[in-house]
Amino acid sequence: MKKKLNPGPSDLALSFVGAICIVFLGIFALLLATDFGRSFTTEGYRRHQIDVNPESVPNILLVNSLGVNQHLQNVIIQDGRFVILDFFYTSCRTICIAQAAIFNALQEKIKAHHLDDRVRLVSVSFDPKQDDIKAIQQYASRVKADPSVWSLLTLNNSKDLKSLLDSFGIYVIKVPPFGDLDHNASFHLIDPKGNLIKISSLDDVDDLLSIVKLKIKYE
């Protein structure tokens, strides 16, 4: 064990300057990693990024429950309505059921407020191997989707899955015991020009509707 010597005044001064530098650099590094203290989770980071810079949605080929092929971006621009979009898979037993219940309530709300010519709901399956057109149809009737407001889509080509999920910031994992799929559940608001303008959590879906109302009011 080396004997502890009393440090000289010059060493103390050096250490003090060093401490200030390290504290500032450390705080800066932590702020940089957390988007200046705004987001401690990947999901929060993504949501803030979209708030600041809206991104255009990818033009990926999807199939609706009637078997019609449609490119995502084209169909949103042609339709001319705001879109609230979420992701699901038909064999899901947990979070997707909650999402479907929220969408069902939202569907009724949209109809009650006569907003169905301005906003619609879209659910996209991220399990293209299991979810063919038939499975989507069954699911649509199970969640009581009204085709004029709520359309359910699945991927045409399962190769597009990764680019679709990446562009929406969705990360799908397999949960060990039964290999169930789990994913970050969120709702995506897309404007009629095909830009993703807001991502919200499941609890704040009403905010998306009020954003739509505001946008319509100030058009």
Partner 1 sequence: MSKLKLVNLDIRNYFAGILFLSAVFLSLWPLRTVIIADMFWHMNIQIPLLITAGLFSKIPALAFFQNLSRFNTYGLNSFIASQVILAFWMLPISIDRAIVHWEYDFAKIISLIVCGWLIQISFKKTTTVIEVFFVGYFLAMLLWVGFYYIQSDVRLCNVYSQKSQQYAGGGLVVFAVVLSLIWIISKLNKKKDGYDKYLFKR
Binding-site ranges for partner 1 (CB under 8 A) = 2, 4, 7, 11-12, 14-15, 18-19, 22-23, 26, 29-30, 33-34, 39-45, 171, 173-176, 182, 184, 201
- Cβ of residue 40: shortest distance to partner 1, in angstroms? 6
Looking at this protein, which amino acid is placed at residue 168?
A: F
Residue 150's beta-bridge partner residues?
A: 121
Residue with smaller CB distance to partner 1, 117 or 166: 166
Residue with smaller CB distance to partner 1, 166 or 206: 166
Residue with smaller CB distance to partner 1, 30 or 66: 30
Residue with smaller CB distance to partner 1, 22 or 214: 22
- Cβ of residue 148: shortest distance to partner 1, in angstroms? 33
**Element spanning 22, H or E:** helix 9-33
- Cβ of residue 183: shortest distance to partner 1, in angstroms? 8
| Ramachandran region, residue 114 (left: φ > 0; alpha: ψ -120 to 50; beta: rest) | left
Alpha-carbon gap, residue 57 to 28, rounded angstroms: 33
- Cβ of residue 67: shortest distance to partner 1, in angstroms? 33
Q: Where are the beta strands (DSSP E) in the chain?
A: 55-56, 61-64, 69-71, 82-88, 119-125, 150-155, 172-175, 180-183, 187-190, 195-200
Residue with smaller CB distance to partner 1, 15 or 210: 15
- Cβ of residue 51: shortest distance to partner 1, in angstroms? 17
Alpha-carbon gap, residue 89 to 143, rounded angstroms: 13
Alpha-carbon gap, residue 131 to 46, rounded angstroms: 27
Residue with smaller CB distance to partner 1, 7 or 147: 7
Q: In the sheet where 55-56 sits, what is the strand order?
A: 55-56, 195-200, 187-190, 82-88, 119-125, 150-155, 61-64, 69-71
Looking at this protein, which amino acid is placed at residue 45?
A: Y
Q: β-strands 150-155, 180-183: how paired?
A: unpaired
- Cβ of residue 56: shortest distance to partner 1, in angstroms? 22
